[in-house]
Amino acid sequence: MILVTGGTGLLGSHLLFDLVSAGRPVRAIKRETSNTGMVKKVFSYYSDTADELFGKIQWVDADIMDFRAMDDALEGIDHVYHAGAVVSFYPRHHKTMLRTNTEGTANLVNLCIDRKIRKFCYVSSVAVLGRAVNDGISDENTWWQPSNKNSVYGQSKYGAEREVWRGMEEGLNAFIVNPSVILGPGFWDGGNSGLFSLVWKGLKYYTRGVNGYVDVRDISRAMILLMDSNISGERFIVSSENISYQQLFEYMAKYLGKPAPSINVPPALTGLAWRVEAVRSFIMRSKPEVTKEMATTTAQVYTYSNEKLRKAIGFEFIPVEQSVKEISEIFLRDHQA
Ligand SMILES: NC(=O)c1ccc[n+]([C@@H]2O[C@H](COP(=O)([O-])OP(=O)(O)OC[C@H]3O[C@@H](n4cnc5c(N)ncnc54)[C@H](OP(=O)(O)O)[C@@H]3O)[C@@H](O)[C@H]2O)c1
């Protein structure tokens, strides 16, 4: 049986869909506060039998930080996909994020070693690759470098990835995927899916920063192919293309039928934006719309090579424009309903 963590999130829900559609027996952890309705919703984007497929998942309540509950969740499991994490660029989440991502992963790795789990997949991030390297394409050998450009999220994922490498040294049969920015449908109020909502509402600004993007379906497919292969002890960047935020927003605007953002925000102004927003949100006691980390990331040029995964399993990626087109179609259906 397979265990999935993070199954109620963007990536995890797509992974669950692929696994149960393939008839694999799956257990997924959730918390009392988790919204499993979103998982059903995601299933309904791809299948007319969403309820039936959803019913095949064995849900168990467990927080990643709850050692005992995680140990129970691993009973009878032979393969683990660890996609659960706190993903946030808001300072008030920093402490929980560092603990959950690093300590939670360390605990799970230890439990999997103890229980002699057959194979373990860890979902890391390109945020753990050398952020200081700004003038070349990062690949799997671009190792972490201390830098003020690293986000706290990146630090938490780096700490977690180190725990997985440590686990491999101690005998865990594992591999790591490092996705770039994930594009997928359904979670329209936040994260990267929230970008579709921003463009839909008439976003006017863009930056010339560049990042890697990947369709959520590609990551899920790559994880399952790697899990089913003989490959282990390695990490793989999962990223379709490197494009500018300007280009990304132009694709979104095109397929959502909105005007493309037309005002370029130079790096100096993104610096001003997060400072003004920090003061405003402090006074208003609200969530800042732009944080220092968001401003820093969107102003930088980060590019990633996907050659290793292509060569290892002959993987072909969905082009970013096609992903944006298909996600926009789902967005429009959701917003017309
Ligand atoms: N989004 C990206 O662009 C991106 C890029 C690269 C890598 N990644 C990595 O990909 C993975 C999935 O990301 P995502 O975008 O799908 O994230 P997401 O939508 O925010 O989902 C996060 C998942 O983690 C679960 N989780 C968080 N804290 C937990 C805890 N203490 N105990 C149990 N479950 C917990 C959440 O459960 P609840 O529903 O209970 O909150 C949710 O299922 C993460 O490891 C992330 O670091 C993401």
**For 49-107, how does the pLDDT look when each residue is reduced to its tens digit (9 = 90+)?**
999 999 999 999 999 999 999 999 999 999 999 999 999 888 888 999 999 999 999 99
Give residue 273's pLDDT band: very low, low, confident or very high (50, 70, 90). Answer: low
CATH number at residue 315: 3.40.50.720
Ligand 1 contacts CB of residue 65 (under 6 A): yes
Ligand 1 contacts CB of residue 99 (under 6 A): no
* pLDDT over 90 (residue 26): yes
Q: 22 CA to middle of ligand 1, Å?
A: 23
User: Whose Cα sits closest to atom 43 in ligand 1?
Assistant: 6
Q: 87 CA to middle of ligand 1, Å?
A: 6
Whether residue 154 is contained in a domain is answered as yes
Task: Order across the sheet with 181-183: list the strands.
Answer: 181-183, 210-215, 241-244
- Six-digit token pair at 174? 């594992």
Residue of 3, 4, 8, 163 to mutate, ligand 1, most atoms within 8 A of C-beta:
8
Q: Is pLDDT larger for residue 132 or for residue 307?
A: 307
Per-residue pLDDT averaged across 189-211, rounded?
86
Give percent of the chain above pLDDT 70: 89
Whether residue 56 is contained in a domain is answered as yes
Whether residue 22 is contained in a domain is answered as yes
* pLDDT over 60 (residue 230): yes
Ligand 1 contacts CB of residue 178 (under 6 A): no
Q: What is the DSSP string of 129-191?
A: S-TT--SSEE-TT------TTS-HHHHHHHHHHHHHHHHHHTT--EEEEEE-EEE-SS-TTST
Whether residue 165 is contained in a domain is answered as yes
Atom of ligand 1 nearest to the CA of 96: 31
Whether residue 224 is contained in a domain is answered as yes
Taking CA atoms, 260 is separated from 184, 197, 248, 251, 330, in Å, by 20, 13, 10, 8, 19
pLDDT value of residue 282: 61
Give the rounded distance of the alpha carbon of 87 from its chain centre: 8
Domain count, the chain: 1
Cβ atoms within 10 Å, residue 14: 29
Whether residue 328 is contained in a domain is answered as no
Domain hosting residue 158, numbered range? 2-185+212-240+304-321
The rounded mean pLDDT for the chain is 91
User: Whose Cα sits closest to atom 8 in ligand 1?
Assistant: 125
Ligand 1 contacts CB of residue 181 (under 6 A): yes
* pLDDT over 80 (residue 293): no
Atom of ligand 1 nearest to the CA of 11: 16
Lowest mean pLDDT among 61-75, 148-162, 212-226: 148-162
- Six-digit token pair at 198? 């921003």
pLDDT value of residue 278: 59
- Cα–Cα distance, 247 to 265 (Å, whole number): 14
Whether residue 141 is contained in a domain is answered as yes
* pLDDT over 90 (residue 196): yes
Per-residue pLDDT averaged across 291-320, rounded?
87
- Six-digit token pair at 272? 């001003």
- Six-digit token pair at 120? 């373990």
Cite the DSSP H helix spans in the chain: 10-21, 37-46, 50-54, 67-73, 94-98, 104-114, 152-169, 194-200, 216-228, 245-256, 267-284, 292-299, 307-313, 320-336
pLDDT value of residue 157: 97
Taking CA atoms, 184 is separated from 24, 28, 31, 293, in Å, by 23, 20, 22, 22
Give residue 170's pLDDT band: very low, low, confident or very high (50, 70, 90). Answer: very high
Burial class (CB in 10 A: 0-12, 13-18, 19+), 75: exposed
Ligand 1 contacts CB of residue 9 (under 6 A): yes
Whether residue 247 is contained in a domain is answered as no
Kindly report the pTM of this predicted structure. 0.94
